[in-house]
A and B are shown apart, each in its own frame.
Chain A
């Protein structure tokens, strides 16, 4: 294990220059955020009609392009994640099909959250096969998009029906009206199918069209509207109504827009902040959005798919237990959303919904035979909120039991947004705690190394607060021969170092401090925009943080603030030709 002095110096710089500098920079005379929020006045072009692109991108009004501080950033092309793909196919075809193993897994993107991975030959083939099967299974729903129930005898009427299908199904699959050129292309493909596949009936030919559309990049990617050969090439534009609806829906619900949202886009209701807020709150009241929020929460904290976690044999860790842990954290998120809906309650709730005996035992309730509908109050002296739940604690543990490192890193990175320089790729600390030493003692000696201490001083101390939890999150009072000492000192962005006696107190401290909410908002900002930060984000982020504070840490209101931010409703033209 080696740290380099370069890294140390780097770390030390961060350590002595906390966020004050960052904010000082952000406070310089940028244009008032109110004017940047001002809505475009010319969004009243007819967004309807299957062959006319609605709204159309407009140059961001009321913003001096030279006042770049508030210009929104790019909207990089992303592929639908597997979660989004599954949800969208369900909406489109009413077929509930698990994502096949052959499909590429999602990957960690620069935003810190999952994104669909790159498609190459193998994946293209897997998608072709999967969507082909689904198109067959979902034929009833597919035919419902055709204006005619059965094939009209008259050829012209048949063609008309197919054109109608292309418009209707394409509108939903592409999340925007099909352009005239696209419609022509698909129709000519249909003609080819009829000509070359003479055994195909009418229904089958339409099925082939649907299969084709489900492999189109317009379906598979979060694409913007075609803007070729028009408009400005620099500056920023407001997303057209459909692109905005789609962006909102995938962020708030993890799926394509529903009928009401499409209608709101069509009728221009997304042209105003109030209209966006109204639709956002509607979507957030739907149970589907809870599943999406669960997903984001798991990714935010880096909670893994624990079915695959490799743990030391002494823990009797099973894939089922790992799954139960993740399920329990999902239900914690649900219960928080059903209650106060705040970040603080997420950090402090002691209510658990457990339907796995091993997990109940791990939480100190061995006899519990309830199900996931029965709330279980966890022990006040042992548990508090998401950071003290088994899923987080197990995810943030190492095979070596040097758990304070990852746990501390999660606290400072995910809750306090202290910028710890990344370790060398794939780096893990020493394999095993030396026999005879407690974890704390071992790490103390390790961190006595001047170099390691510069990095670790930022996060390992916070991790000690979790020493009451072993590698799978079970509560313990001794580590080896030593009594657990879970006292810790936590470095905060304001430059203070605050002592806590254990993770319960740490959770309290985090729940009460505004820095935690600000950090949470930063992470969700990246998730909403699906990209890494750019300097121009600072002003937008400040607005969002204010809104989140104003809503006393309500998570849904944070999401509403995010989708109404100019950073979300607009994009720079950098990523478009």
Chain B
């Protein structure tokens, strides 16, 4: 499976985790267009913290790759990175590719 598809699958399993914390009518859709942060975002700050922590955990467990989403580079562009599930997938792909290049 291509890396981007693996990342998407991993993020969907993150959404499954986060939905356990939310009432059924507030569940996040497993869709790359799902807005996360910013003005139309579905997550509050606590939700974003959980998203970051669970994503890092699952990246290690499911992709076998360490991932850091609390560094200055990520947090300085938080609204862009976390705008939708798709932008987050792209960003994770970029970060993991950079590691490969290095």
Q: Do A and B come from one complex?
A: no
Interface residues of A (CB under 8 A from B): none
